[in-house]
Amino acid sequence: MLIIEIKDGESIDKALKRYKRKFQNAGVIKELRRRKEFVKPSVKRRGEVLKAVYREKMLDEQENTPN
């Protein structure tokens, strides 16, 4: 549970903004989406490998393009 202390003279808008930032940094939404459905370890690993291959391909293309 996130707790935000409101300082003396602080507007509710500023406190709400701090709450939203803290909520996003905590990764609550990301965790909820990840837990929504079970992904087999083999499928998760395959996705990681495909992402790595894609990243390598993009970096290689950037290095080979003449500027």
Find the helix or strand (DSSP H, E) in which 29 lies: helix 28-35
The per-residue pLDDT for 4 is 87
Residue 33 placed within a domain: yes
| pLDDT tens, residue order, the chain (67 aa) | 788 888 899 999 999 999 999 999 999 888 999 899 999 999 999 999 999 999 999 999 988 887 6
**pTM score of the predicted model:** 0.50
Number of domains making up the chain: 1
Residue 45 placed within a domain: yes
As a whole number of angstroms, the distance between CA 18 and CA 25 comes to 11
Q: What range does the domain containing 54 cover?
A: 13-64
Residue 41 placed within a domain: yes
Residue 8 placed within a domain: no
Residue 4 placed within a domain: no
Report DSSP state, residue 12.
Answer: H
Residue 55 placed within a domain: yes
Q: Which residues contact 26 (CB under 8 A, 6 or more apart)?
A: 2
